[in-house]
Structure 1
């Protein structure tokens, strides 16, 4: 038993479980009201459709991904908010006319290696920030 709080370990575990269940139910209710929550979605880039196959050797196409969905108000840490985004979501909750809703955006990107012709020579380069790895609310 925790003498300072007067609780047992099992009651803390139970309260934590109840809190997570409540947060899940809140998120489900918000999704029903506002549509799907912020998440990573497919976005295929096809260089043949862009007419770039003469100079791009590899890849011929790739999944760049994109971010789509609504952001909860207030936002929580599962959406990787900046401190500014967190404060904006609180302001939006309490004073909707004073702050816009958060946007679902890429929060972590990764590079893409490409093989292509440049000035008549074949080169391989790693282009930064080409693939969405994670989405969040900002």
Structure 2
């Protein structure tokens, strides 16, 4: 389970209609598998540890833990708000994966 580069071009998702800058950004994504035993750098929860043990015992019945974002960071945006006012937001929250882990 690790962070991998993934570039988002706002034009591809039609957000260029309201976002002026940037035209895109490095959002990253989480890829890989979560195998038992889970390493501490993957920040597993107790639930995840238990689920991993159950998956190891019952692989056909219990799905494995998933590699997902565990920490997100903001990016800065220049955009048109709901009132069509040009707005600069220094911290547009939860836009970029900062850390991945098993959940």
The TM-score, its normalising length taken from structure 1, stands at: 0.66
Query: Within 5 Å, which residues of 2 pair with 1:49-128?
Result: 49-118=12-81, 119-125=83-89, 126-128=91-93
Runs (4+) of structure 1 moved beyond 4 Å?
Answer: none
Consecutive unaligned residues of structure 1, counting only runs of 5 or more, are 1-37
Counting strand residues as a fraction of each chain, which structure ranks higher?
2
Superposition deviation, residue 45 in structure 1: 0.9
Bigger CA radius of gyration: 1
Cα drift, residue 52 of structure 1: 3.4
Higher relative contact order (CA 8 A, sep 6+): 2
Q: Name 2:102's counterpart in structure 1.
A: 137
* RMSD, aligned CA: 1.6
**For the Cα contact (< 8 Å) 1:115–1:122, is it kept in 2?**
yes
TM-score by length of 2: 0.85
2: distance between equivalents of 1:94 and 1:54? 50
Query: Relative to 1, partners in 2 of residues 1:52 and 1:99: Cα closer, same or farther, differing over 3 Å?
Result: closer
What is the deviation of 1:54?
A: 4.0
- How many residue pairs match? The answer is 101
